[in-house]
Amino acid sequence: MDKYTNPLCERYASDEMQYIFSSDNKFSTWRKLWVALAESQQELGLKATSSCSDVVKPNCDNLNTKDFRGCLSITTEQITEMKANINNINYDTAKKFEEKTRHDVMAHILAFAKQCPLAKPIIHLGATSCYVGDNTDIIVQRSALLLIKKLLVNTIAKLSEFADKHKSLECLAYTHFQAAQPTTVGKRATLWIQDLMFDFEQLDFTLCNLKLLGCKGTTGTSASFLSIFDGDHEKVKELEQKIAEKMGFTEVYSVSGQTYSRKVDYYILSVLSGIAQSAYKFSNDIRLMSHMKELDEPFESTQVGSSAMAYKRNPMRSERIASLARYVTVNALNPALTASSQWLERTLDDSANRRISIPEAFLATDAILSLMFNITNGMTIYPNIIKKHLKEELPFMATENILMYCVKKGKDRQILHERIRIHSTETAKKIKLQGGENDLISRIAKDSEFDISTKELNKLLETEQFTGRAKEQTEEFLQQVKIILNENAELLGMDIDIKI
């Protein structure tokens, strides 16, 4: 029987992001954490205090720490055995154990122990389920954030190239989607880049402040580890630090319950929500410009825009960004509710939600940025259409300049203002009712009250007079962006391919 599969994996997200949240990556990380725990315990001098042959024989079925008091010893052979099976995950065995125990961590401990008979007595020694579960979640989310960072930097770089290329291309700007003072296409693109730069700052801050849970025990007091080390507080603290370093972290959270605070998940998914919001705005702008025929997103030679209307060139990639971005933005509410609803030192009503909401937020954001990069890298600008739209509205915008120019020549400002009002009203009526062209300038040229020549009017209509510092602002802003891109040069050069 065919079963439902996740569209994020089938259609949208990259293989790299899918691997980060794969079972292989998850459970191999669990095993790496068990190795790190055993290695660190050994390095801190966990030795046998009395003879116990069970330490090196596979006949200790109860893995509870307290049953090994007095015979604790971790050998190099045990650690070597564990390392040899980090990626050799016996899923069928783990599945059978989970059906019996109804506990995923215990099932994988027992499955690992089957492969590591020498290490069986010391696997997961002193730890609780969250030692592997929560630490792995942090490790996986850090890997996913680093991939998002790479995608983000490359998207910013492509948008910067686009902005620089079109920094002088004048276009009609809009407020309320009504014609307003002109800008340039490049300046408009800096608005997209600036949003992504805000997201980059938040992402970097979140990454820099991400810490490992460490080994805090069942209620966050490290009691089991204090027992193992005979009350030596310094060794317990050193144990956490050693594990953190082995897993690529410099710090652990100072305090916790059994889990790290679920606010960490909220901060991480808030970063993804921010990226989704920025991409959504970008996609809406692309869709509006596409409607005006000023721009096309990439459209392959064999691509079909509509099953009914063969001529259609729908901006489907931008629409997909909008659709996925809406999902990610809403999904950021999940960790907020989870963080706020935790009970005392631990409750399990977070688990099922987190298994779904966290991976899917990353998978969707991966798809969003891949699409944004793809669109930016291949979109087509139509300067003639852009100039046509600007020319259609420019006469109305030029009237203030015309008014001031004529006043300087000695004309009455109030009389000219009234004449402009009358001519503008009649012109707008002609355009809207008859579909006629904008003839406002010719009306003014014929009006003796203005006493202005066509040559003078054409000079006042030169578009660069209306874009202010758009070009200069673009250049100055891109210099700031360049600093960030240079600092992250090792991330540049991705070859991003979208599936559909």
CA-CA-CA-CA torsion for 20, 6, 4, 302, nearest 10 degrees? Answer: -120
176 catalytic? Reply is yes
Cβ atoms of 363 and 13 closer than 8 Å: yes
Provide the 8-state DSSP code for 55: G
- Catalytic-labelled residue, pool 23, 233, 291, 306: 306
| Cα-Cα end-to-end distance for the chain | 26
**How far apart (Å, rounded) are the C-alpha atoms in residues 405 and 139?**
66
306 catalytic? Reply is yes
Query: Two tokens at 303?
Result: 């691509």
Cβ neighbours of residue 470 under 8 Å, at least 6 residues apart? 167, 170, 182, 183, 184, 186, 187
Which residue in 393, 414, 416 sits closest to 406, CA to CA? 416
> How many CA within 13 A on the CB side of residue 9?
11
Query: Two tokens at 166?
Result: 């079109």
Residue-by-residue DSSP string for 299-354:
--TT--S-SS-TT----HHHHHHHHHHHHHHHHTHHHHHHHHT--TT--STTHHHH
Locus of tokens 């890997």: 143
Alpha carbon of residue 27 to chain centroid:
24
Q: Is 302 exposed, middle or buried (0-12, 13-18, 19+ CB in 10 A)?
A: exposed
- Catalytic-labelled residue, pool 50, 51, 53, 176: 176
Residues marked active site are found at 176, 306
